[in-house]
Amino acid sequence: MPVNKRRYPRVVQACNTCRAKKYKCDGHLPCFHCQRLGRECIFQGEVNSHSPYSIRYVKDLEKSLERAEAALHIQGIPQLGNTDPKQTGSVKEHVVVQQSQLNVLWPSESGDSTIDSIAGAARQGAAPVDIPNKEAPDDISTDVMDINGVSRRFEFHGRTSSLAFLDRLMKLKERNSASRFLGCPILSRQAVIEFQNEAFMKFRETLRVFDKVQENYYPHYAFLFIDSYFKTLHYVHPILDQHVFLERCSSLWTGRGISIHQSFKVLYFAVLSLGALTRTWIEDSINGMDRNTWALMLFERAELAMGRLGSLNDLEAVQAAMIMAQVCQHQLNPNLAYTYLGTALRTSFSMGINRIAPFRTRHFPQDSPSVVVSRTWWDLYSMETELSITLGRENMLGLDSYHNRPPPLVSVNNESENTIISVMLGLSRILQEISRKIYWEETALSEKLERAGEYERRLNSWLVELPPNIRPKPFSGATKARLLLGNHYWPELQRLVLHLRYLHTRIVLFYVFFLHEQKGHKNGRDAKKVAAYSANCKNAAVEIIECIHSTYSAHHFFRSWWNNTTYIAFGLSILVATFSREPAIARPKSAILLYINQAIEVLGVMDECPVACNIGKFIRELVDTLLATGTSRNDSEGEPQAE
What is the rounded distance in angstroms from the CA atom of residue 14 to the CA atom of residue 28?
Answer: 9
pLDDT of residue 369: 79
Q: What's the number of CA atoms in the CB half-sphere (13 Å) around residue 2?
A: 3
Distances (CA, A) of 401 to 396, 405, 406: 14, 10, 11
pLDDT of residue 366: 72
pLDDT of residue 105: 36
pLDDT, tens only, 250-269: 999 998 878 889 999 999 99
Q: Return the amino acid letter for 575.
A: L
Return the closest-CA partner of residue 642 out of 568, 592, 570.
592
What is the rounded distance in angstroms from the CA atom of residue 511 to the CA atom of residue 517?
Answer: 10
pLDDT score of 180 more than 80: no
CB neighbours (10 Å) of residue 101? Answer: 10
pLDDT of residue 247: 94
pLDDT of residue 577: 92
**What HEC string does 495-506 produce?**
HHHHHHHHHHHH
Break the chain into its structural domains and give their ranges.
1-50, 69-81+91-157, 198-331+333-408
pLDDT of residue 113: 36
pLDDT score of 638 more than 50: no
What is the rounded distance in angstroms from the CA atom of residue 498 to the CA atom of residue 541?
Answer: 15
Looking at residue 308, the DSSP 8-state letter turns out to be S
pLDDT score of 181 more than 50: no
String of b and e for 478-487 (b: at least 16 CB within 10 Å)?
ebeeebeeee
pLDDT, tens only, 154-177: 676 766 776 667 777 777 766 666
- Assign 110 a pLDDT band (cuts: 50, 70, 90): very low
Looking at residue 215, the DSSP 8-state letter turns out to be -
Distances (CA, A) of 253 to 108, 127, 307: 58, 58, 21
Judged on CB neighbours under 10 Å (0-12, 13-18, 19+), 576 is buried
pLDDT of residue 27: 79
**Phi, psi dihedrals of residue 147, rounded to the nearest 5°:** -100, 120
pLDDT score of 213 more than 50: no
pLDDT of residue 170: 72
Which CATH superfamily hosts domain 1-50? Zn(2)-C6 fungal-type DNA-binding domain (4.10.240.10)
43 - beta bridge partners?
53
Transcribe 571-583 into DSSP letters. Answer: HHHHHHHHHHHS-
Q: Return the amino acid letter for 20.
A: A
pLDDT, tens only, 345-380: 999 999 889 988 777 677 667 777 788 999 999 999
Contact at 8 Å (CB) between 232 and 488?
A: yes
What is the chain's percent helix, strand, coil content, to nearest 5?
A: 60, 0, 35
Q: Please name the residues in contact with 101: beta carbons below 8 A apart, sequence gap of 6 or more.
A: 75
CA 172 to chain centre: 19
What is the rounded distance in angstroms from the CA atom of residue 39 to the CA atom of residue 19?
Answer: 14
What is the rounded distance in angstroms from the CA atom of residue 16 to the CA atom of residue 43?
Answer: 6
What is the rounded distance in angstroms from the CA atom of residue 289 to the CA atom of residue 280?
Answer: 15
What is the rounded distance in angstroms from the CA atom of residue 54 to the CA atom of residue 592?
Answer: 33
- Assign 20 a pLDDT band (cuts: 50, 70, 90): confident
Looking at residue 354, the DSSP 8-state letter turns out to be T
Round the average pLDDT of the chain to a whole number and report it.
Answer: 77
- Assign 91 a pLDDT band (cuts: 50, 70, 90): very low
- Assign 639 a pLDDT band (cuts: 50, 70, 90): very low
CA 412 to chain centre: 37
Contact at 8 Å (CB) between 285 and 230?
A: no
Return the closest-CA partner of residue 185 out of 15, 69, 47, 58.
58
Q: Please name the residues in contact with 412: beta carbons below 8 A apart, sequence gap of 6 or more.
A: none
